[in-house]
Structure 1
Amino acid sequence: MTAQHPDHRFLPASERLAKWQATGADTAAFHGGLYAVRCRYAELGLWQLLPLQRVLLGAESRREGAFGGFHHLHQGYRHLQMFSVVTMHGPLEGDTPRTPGLALLDLLRAYAHDCLHYGSRRRYISVGGKSTRTQYGINFRRPSGQSYSAADPLGSPHTRNLGIVMEGACDREARRVTRETAVRFGIREPDDPLGRIAFRDVTGTLSDEDVTAGREEEPVDEVAGYVERLRRYEAGVNRRYAVFLSEFAPHEEEDLHDLLLSAVISGDTRGITAWLDARHGPGTFAGTFLTGAYFAPPDVGLSA
């Protein structure tokens, strides 16, 4: 699971947090946020969280200039292994974070996000001896690989893709818990530009200027590459999901958001379908997301 990061050393998050605490870092914010995640997700129907021992947290890198955090390349939840691979936010050469408060918030955001992936309804079948996922949350996939909904056009400001909707819902919830934790434990926005944009990212408070200002065609180092990926993720996932909520649930965004997350956890689309039908007419869910290629024969339309 960590083969793509040969330069970093990975430890279970529980061990890494203990090392941080042993060096004097106050990890209370993470554990306080963890309690908030447990309470909130139980309301949504998720009673079992991803064990911290199954979260591999990388640091102590041998690569000069290595920079980690939520937007580090090739990390996230591994659904077949049921493990999460993440990295410490900030420079990765050491074994403790340079800015502990921000690193704890970044880890909390990643953990809360991946707990929802861990708790999402999944169904697998065997195709040619290979385990193939045919359901994830409220999204479905043919054994041939054809997804229920099509990819969004490049640069689209809105979404009609269930993968983006579910990813956006998971991150909106994770960042809400992180934002509330930052307030509760008095972790404030750093003064430096990099710390400022990272703090706004983990707390879901990025401005339009944060997303568009100073973008580089070719990032010159890992820090610049990290910031560019942060901005692309914000525009391609979180902003599209926010537009989706405003389109289909004006003045009821949080109601629709909660229904979506509960449906992703249970895998039952009946509640969200009825809610959308009541406001936008029968067949809204399928009319919004379903692509005709989903019903095509295996050798037709698979590129969609």
Structure 2
Amino acid sequence: MSRWQEAGADTAMFHGGLYAVRCRYAELGLSQLLPLQRVLVGAGSRRKGAFGGFHHLDQGYRHLQMFAVVTMHGPMESGTPHRPDLALLDLLRAYAHDCLHYGSRRRYISVGGTPARTQYGINFRRPSGQPYSGADPQGSPHTRNLGIVMEGACDREARRITRETAIRAGIVAPDDALGRLAFRDMTGALSDEDVTAESAETHEGEAAGYVERLRRYETGVNRRYAYFLTEFAPGEEEDLHDLLLAAVISGDTRGLSAWLDARHGPGTFAGVFLSGAYFEPAALDLSA
């Protein structure tokens, strides 16, 4: 951050966003944010045409190491952002997102001397590996997968904070297609046209791959989560969203389950998410 400041970037916006993250997450029950020293930002690359940002390959939170590994948005040849405003907004979105991963309730046990995560937020996994919920069918507009629900909830919140920070700082979408698309993604304002399969074809090199991953994330995570909220909480989407995030942080599903039961009948949480495979015995390895 200090290197970016020396290059002329005004980082006050980012620090204002951090304050918003701290206040909002405290309301949800998260008092300890991801320490900034545990956020590793890749800002330079020797790879020709390298393009970084939230949708860079292998970017994200490492739950065992408790580190966030992120990249600077945009071209990465120089180590300083080509567009400081976009890079700072993207970094804020990534940090706000990974804070929720860091703060999600987790439980581990030892399986043969190897740590196995049996709970992550409101998602559960048997020691033998079976997840509580199954994968969604490819191309499905809705979700019955707790991993998608939690990921969507984290990003919805992170993008809301990023959007409000951009408004306070007076930052608007750039005029060029790639910058405009990135800004809309960071602030949760992507249109249907933005996420068509043809959208990536207008870009070249690594930027095209970045846009394609952006499109897949939007349709496979964020839009499925938005559909889930309107499906189970029409007119009360934000209430359900807040309950979900609070449950993810605490690991306690009772309040969330009671809310769903009151609107959709007893046992809604299990009825929606529980997969029959959760109770199946683990497959035996017969190769030994």
* TMscore range, shorter length: over 0.9
3-state SS of 1:124 partner: strand
| In 2: Cα distance, 1:166 partner to 1:155 partner | 19
Q: Which residue of 1 aligns with 2:104?
A: 120
Where does residue 242 of structure 1 map in the other structure? 226
Residue aligning to 1:266: 250
1:135 aligns with 2:124: no
Partner-residue secondary structure (3-state), 1:135? strand
CA distance in 2, matches of 1:51, 1:146: 32
For 1:11, the equivalent position in structure 2 comes to none
Residue 297 of structure 1 is matched in structure 2 by: 281
CA distance in 1, matches of 2:180, 2:147: 29
**Structure 1 residue aligned with 2:135:** 151
The amino acid that maps onto 2:155 is: D
Which of 11, 14, 24 aligns to 1:30? It is: 14
Is residue 88 of structure 2 the alignment partner of residue 108 of structure 1?
Answer: no
Cα displacement string for residues 126-148 of structure 1 (whole angstroms, at most 9, x for unaligned residues): 00000110000000001111100
Aligned partner of 1:53 in structure 2 is 37
Q: Distance in 1 between matches of 2:30 and 2:171?
A: 28
Tell me, in whole angstroms, the C-alpha distance in 2 between the residues paired with 1:140 and 1:25: 43
Letter in 2 for 1:290: L
- Residue identity opposite 2:21 in structure 1: V
What is the aligned partner in structure 2 of residue 171 from structure 1?
155
**How many aligned positions are there?**
284
Indicate yes or no: 2:175 matched with 1:196.
no
Distance change (3 Å), C-alpha of 1:216 and 1:185: closer
The question of whether the paired residues in 1 share the 8 Å contact of 2:193 and 2:199 is answered with no
| 2:69 corresponds to 1:85 | yes
How far has the Cα of 1:22 moved from its partner? 1.8
What amino acid is aligned across from residue 57 of structure 2 in structure 1?
Answer: L
Q: For residues 14 and 111 of structure 2, what CA distance do their matches in structure 1 show?
A: 41
* Cα shift at 1:214: 2.0
Residue by residue, what CA displacement relative to the aligned partner does 1:154-212 show, whole Å, maximum 9, x if unpaired?
A: 00000000000000000000000000000001111100000000000000000000111
1:73-103 deviation digits (Å, cap 9, x = unpaired): 0010000000000000000111110000000
TM-score (normalised: structure 2): 0.97
The alignment-based identity, stated in percent, is: 81
- Within 1, Cα distance between the matches of 2:282 and 2:135? 18
Corresponding residue to 1:233 among 199, 217, 230: 217
> For 2:166, which of 167, 179, 182 is the aligned residue?
182
Shift of 1:38: 0.1
Give the drift of 1:220. Answer: 5.3
Cα offset, 1:215, TM superposition: 4.0
Aligned counterpart, 1:224: 208
Q: Is the 8 A contact 2:200 2:211 kept in 1?
A: no
Q: 1:73 aligns with which of 57, 62, 80?
A: 57
Q: Residue in 1 aligned with 2:28?
A: 44
Secondary structure class of the residue paired with 2:198: coil
Q: Distance in 2 between matches of 1:149 and 1:36?
A: 33
Letter in 1 for 2:14: F
Quote the Cα distance in structure 1 between the aligned partners of 2:200 and 2:16: 37
What SS does structure 1 have at the residue aligned with 2:42? strand
Structure 1 residue runs of 4+, over 4 Å off? none
C-alpha distance in 2 between matches for 1:32 and 1:46:
18
Supply the distance in 1 between the matched residues of 2:209 and 2:39 (Cα, whole angstroms): 24
CA distance in 1, matches of 2:262, 2:32: 32
State the 1:60 CA deviation.
1.8
